[in-house]
Structure 1
Amino acid sequence: MPKKVVIVGGGVGGSFVANKLAYKLSSEVRKGEVEITVIEPAQVLHYQPGYLYVPFMELPSDVMFRSPKKVLSPLVKLVEKPAAKIDLKAKKVQTADGAEYPYDYLVVASGAVARTDAIPGFNKTWYTLWTYEGAKALRERLRSFTRGTLVFSVTSTPYKCPVAPYEFLFMFDDYLMSTGLKKDVKLIFTTVAPHLHAQPNVNKFLEEQMKMRGIEYRTKFEVKEIKEGEVVGPETIKADLVVAVSKHTPADVVVNSGLVDQSGWLPVDKSTLQIQGGSGVEYAIGDTTNLAVPKAGSVAHFQSEVVASRIHEEITLGHADTVYRGRVICFIMTGFEEATQVSWNYENPALYPPPSSKFFARLKDLTNYSIWGVMRCGL
């Protein structure tokens, strides 16, 4: 019987794990000794970091979207059905139609979901960047927004891509400057968090950028309600346009399988990425975990290499030594044509970001336009 690797979720993390394993274990897969299966119901995968650009200038469709069949290695089996239950004791995954997929190794890479129903009035009294439909609706709204107050509120943490709110504000500020509308538009940012960013040097950089651009910000601002024309919290802020980050949760299959802890996320070992409460052969990566690292594609990418290496080592050597050291790399767009970059890990906090430049903006462009190819090759 072949060793069965089942991966729940075919997004960035899941596809990277699958393709890395297909490369590392290609001989074993071809001999029928290993079987790699990805359970992913979506007919089209979205490049979610691309949502940032949609309100301004949507990226080409072949950058924004890709079929899972074109992303995954031919050595990987694709099950195009939603996973309904993960049973760690029985070591199997059940799909919505009742089919069961037993595993010898499990990787949960089902991501996080922006719950737009958590705040009444989605795409009417408030807009978001965290769904494609929301980003498109925001684009239409911005076309008629030429004066007034735009309030951007982070209503819940954690959420996907923690720097995206600032990138949007900096890019929109660029737009206001270039069109001569800045004098007629006021930008206000609120967050429920006690800071703009958990990394002190990144927080300092963002505070300086906000002050330099005249963007007001309030921390520890718990939004109670978003109504037509106002954001209600510790104070009521009048708003002509509201953009918000709604509550994020793991995918339904993780929650419904009873795998979350008191934080609401899937608990894993910070170094091995093994699911706590499992038998040692179950892993989770990316946005679904409870780790104190950003919920971002780059993090899922780095974690995918760790998990793929550990499974490869277990199958070929009988033990696994590779560990995740908390590696994070993040671009921060400071306008349409400039960006900076920060990185850190468990032992080394982020340094103060280097000056914004076109160089980093082009590096981010390179990432945007190459990600599907890099993923397909399992790099």
Structure 2
Amino acid sequence: MRSQVAIIGAGPAGLLLGQLLYKAGIDAVILEQRTPEYVLGRIRAGVLEQGTVDILDLAGVGARLHSQAMTHDGVEIGASGHRHRIAFKDLVGKVVTVYGQTEVTRDLMEARAACDAPSIYEAESVELHDISSARPWVTFVHKGVKQRLDCDFIAGCDGYHGVSRRSIPAAALSLFERIYPFGWLGVLADVPPAWDELIYADSERGFALASMRSETRVRCYVQCSLDDKVEHWSDEQFWAEFKRRVGEDVAARMTTGPSIEKSIAPLRSFVAEPMRYGQMFLAGDAAHIVPPTGAKGLNLAASDVFYLYEALSDYYRRESRAALDQYSGRALRRVWQAVRFSWWMTSLLHRFPGEDPFFGRIRGSELDYLFRSDAAQRSLAENYVGLPL
């Protein structure tokens, strides 16, 4: 088997790259370890920057998004019993789009199936070979048969635990990581949201986030210990704790219901540099992880994919390697900006175990400055809606 590009991973990053390359007339085969049902079952973020929406439109998969998604002009941040709105559209002239990652993945999967482009699910024992040479190749086992895929380039879109980054020699990578001493307990429920825009709430009991996936489905979180267990939380306990943190007025008008999904996610910042080794390029979670506080994970994956698509298109159109050589530096510049913003948002809105009074005062002063300063609000808005691609 041969293809110009081998894409490892059929999450939104791999699928989006596949669709962009298909539109550009570049052959790509996608290899995915899991089943399509498993991929679609992942519960992930749902806040899209305008740049991400534009990339989805470029890939030809934006129709359902534009008919069903919600547009938000701002967010609310709660502290000390009061909420303050950060008005994105007024401050920087941009908005964000609320559309679940599951729906993005569904749109991409359907588009790929419609164009009959090859995606091989349940590809086991994937191994990358000769990635530092001009002729890389991939082996995998599918339905009990070992197969070989020869290619010009490999795109590693297979997430933090995937084979792509692990195929790079350790001496060739620099890893940067920050583990946060808490997690998020999240609940998905089919109830109408009692809020019009996302609410980030800082309280003495810890952080809470009120978000939604649609006009009939909410996704809500509370900060929890890393030692906590999902089975320790009944739905009733979760909603009671969430109401204590989000604010009395919101709590009073909320409708609660049984959870569709409940999980605890640890928070971390992680970056691997560079995002290229030989003919293999990393994109998305394979190269970087950010805490969800800044809503950057899926958006960073989309910008990585866009840069890689442009570089590969340039190579096949003009036989120029310039953009391929610039890919890692270009992507990492935006990655580190998002890592900084996500770290800042996380530090601003969470209570850290064992924090001293000085740290608490600094956080309170930072929030006070944010609420009083147009410049500070503009900076938050500029980063939240997405820096230019």
Category of TM-score, reference length = shorter chain: 0.3 to 0.5
Q: Of Structure 1 and Structure 2, which has the larger fraction of its residues in helix? A: 2
